[in-house]
Chains A and B, each alone.
Chain A
Amino acid sequence: EAGVAQSPRYKIIEKRQSVAFWCNPISGHATLYWYQQILGQGPKLLIQFQNNGVVDDSQLPKDRFSAERLKGVDSTLKIQPAKLEDSAVYLCASSLAGPLRAFFGQGTRLTVV
């Protein structure tokens, strides 16, 4: 079966610019997660969707980050405006229900200069 697809793999932007990441989960997976992984740290959950509804976005910096999952399939994560501290790998994961068997994509490495 196809895995979780993410694009782009790499992105370099200047601070104060905007950027968007795209995630296509495994077909049929209702739950979708976005994680932020700063270099040298473990991933931190930004937002969790169940179908097209938000389950948990308590750690999402809502003044600059936004995410949507239209039609309960693909998802986009946007940062506007970007800050230097947003440099990280952004991982998308999906599962049938809950994280007991979550599948991760290869992530997008963002560098803000």
Chain B
Amino acid sequence: AQTVTQSQPEMSVQEAETVTLSCTYDTSESNYYLFWYKQPPSRQMILVIRQEAYKQQNATENRFSVNFQKAAKSFSLKISDSQLGDTAMYFCAFMNPNNAGNMLTFGGGTRLMVKP
């Protein structure tokens, strides 16, 4: 079974600065997908970024980028030029496409607060 661990329960950052959220996972699979989701107080999970394990290039989406270290099973999220609207819970998730259900396995989350 896969496990996803987020070791930082809470983080804070000043507006306009950069912050990195950590995620590690455990799997014996070689092909899989990793995700970062944002959950604001509205509770709706919003996909931030996705990485395919067979791609060596780190994914980027505007101010969001990842540092994917496959050998270390590490998948961190970097948020540049932090904005007040980035304040939310952030969840790292894993998906094994070889499973029939393709279910997402989530970490425990990191609460990020962006301070003005």
Residues on A lying within 8 angstroms of B by beta carbon are: 3, 33, 40-45, 48, 55-56, 89, 91, 93, 98-102, 104-107, 109
Contact = CB atoms under 8 A, between A and B. Distances in A.
A106 B43 contact: yes
Give the interface SS of chain B, mostly helix, strand, loop or mixed. loop
A41 B109 contact: yes
A98 to B, nearest CB: 4
Given A56-B100, A98-B97, A42 B108 contact: yes
B16 interface: no
Given A42-B108, A99-B95, A100-B33, A56 B103 contact: yes
25 contacts: A33-B103, A40-B109, A41-B109, A42-B91, A42-B93, A42-B106, A42-B107, A42-B108, A43-B91, A43-B104, A43-B106, A45-B104, A56-B103, A91-B43, A91-B45, A98-B102, A99-B102, A99-B103, A99-B104, A100-B33, A104-B44, A104-B45, A106-B42, A107-B43, A107-B44
Contacts, number: 56
A105 B109 CA distance: 18
B77 interface: no
B45 A43 contact: yes
